[in-house]
Amino acid sequence: MSITSAMYSATSGLMAQSKALASISSNIANSSTTGFKGTVTEFTSYINKTTTVDEQVGGVMATNTRNVSKQGEIQTSSTTTNLAVNGDGFFVVSDDSADGSVLFTRNGSFSTDQSGYLQNSEGYYLYGWKLSDDGTIAATNKTSTDSLEAINLTSIKGTPKATSTMGLEANLPSDADTGDSFTSDVEMFDALGNSHSVTMTWTKTADNTWSLDASDPTKSSDSTSTTGTIAGFPISITFNSDGSLASATQDDGSGTMTSVDPSAITFSVSGWTTGASDSSVTLDLGTADGTDGLTQYASGDDDPSIGDWTSTQNGYEPGTLTGTTIDTSGIVRATFDNGETRAIFQIPIATFANADGLDSESGSTFTQTYESGNYQLRNAGDGKAGEIEAGSLESSTVELTDEFSRMITAQQAYTAASKVVTTAQDMLDTLIAMKR
């Protein structure tokens, strides 16, 4: 091997160690970057062969590779929309909130921008499946990224819900006289979210027997304005001798009283003056032979009254968005000030046969390549897909102690290679001096 060959080998060493130092420098600079995947330098020996062994020139090649599939440590964040993938897979993101090119990232530092879109620290929008009102995915082909759209949290509107179930708990005074009546008011909502008041009248008709009647609903803000016509009353209620609820009968509309389950009595309201559709409500007065609803015990007062009165119903008026929650399966739920909670989006996880084959686009964002294989959109936590942890971030996979060790090794190798170059240069200078 000639002196120039030695210089060639040493120069390849200098170039390889320079490449290693560049990798180390990038890793150290991104040691605090969310979702960053560190690079490693792989060295490969090569030989340029000629006719004889003595004339073969040895050298080295360096290649920087990124360990994309390595899991970073998950750390808690105070921002609820910050997300981390615990396991395999990537968030699907785009550089545009509508019809942008699709990319993949582990950087879950998402927060709402001025338009309400979830955008991470690198400026990419989070994409997900939009859900129908029943909580199912609206798109027909959920295997394609075309089924995804940018997640917007401020465009969500609250919807009303008509009262469909109502529960009453109370103690009807056993020491009331036959013929005594008591009233109580309950609230219910129509399908348009309007609030109405219904007055319940409780009349003792005999020992252990009461009649429940209900007035037509009125506006909650104006008791003189009737808003609909109620049907399904009166209801006759009997109690056992121990005060527990025994049974109930209901007017079937023809004046005939028929036996009904006291925990599932149906009444209706028609002709809403608000323009809402008719309402059908299931009334729960408690379990037969139980004390979980109506009871009949002595009040102990000189002037008996209904005690322990509680009414519940499941209707509500349109609410105002108060926040969002994200669970481990990627379901985004909107919460409203009226108590409504609604699933609005589902965040998919994209997996690859060879995640290390992805190509770096910028920062911690990647694009699909032939080596990575095609993406597969999965539900978080399903099969190979990792779970989503809200209020968390995945830290960089860079270990500073490892990088410092690599730096020392690269520096020593670089110094040694440079020594070969200077030695070969001295030998060439000697050779030139001999000619002179």
**Residue of 234 and 58 predicted with greater confidence:** 234
Same domain, 133 and 253: no
Asked if 14 contacts 421 with a C-beta cutoff of 8 angstroms, the reply is yes
- Residues 402, 388 share a domain: no
Write out the residue range of the structural domain in which residue 264 sits: 165-313
Do 98 and 204 fall into the same domain? no
Same domain, 193 and 255: yes
**pLDDT digits over 253-284, tens only?**
777 889 999 999 999 999 999 999 999 999 99
Residue at which a domain ends, from 284, 313, 342: 313
Q: What is the CATH number of the domain that holds 250?
A: 2.60.98.20
Q: Are residues 176 and 288 in the same domain?
A: yes
Residues 148 and 174 in one domain: no
Is residue 177 located within the same domain as residue 274? yes
Question: Among 254, 280, 313, which residue terminates a domain?
Answer: 313
- Omega cis (within 30) before 160: no
Single out the residue of 174, 282, 299 nearest to residue 237, CA to CA. 174
> Is 170 in the same domain as 268?
yes
Same domain, 208 and 244: yes
Cα 47–Cα 51–Cα 55 angle in degrees, nearest 5:
55
The answer on 60 and 15 residing in a single domain is yes
What is each CA distance from 140 to 100, 130, 298, 380, in whole angstroms? 20, 11, 61, 19
From 313, 330, 361, give the residue that closes a domain.
313
Tokens of 345: 């989006």
Residue 8: per-residue pLDDT: 78
- Identify whether residues 175 and 300 lie together within a single domain: yes
Whether residues 206 and 226 share a domain: the answer is: yes
Structural domain total, the chain: 3
Reported as a single tens digit per residue, the pLDDT across 297-343 is 999 888 899 999 999 999 999 988 888 899 999 999 999 888 888 89
The arithmetic mean of pLDDT across residues 129-158, rounded, is 88
Which pair of tokens denotes residue 416?
Answer: 């040694």
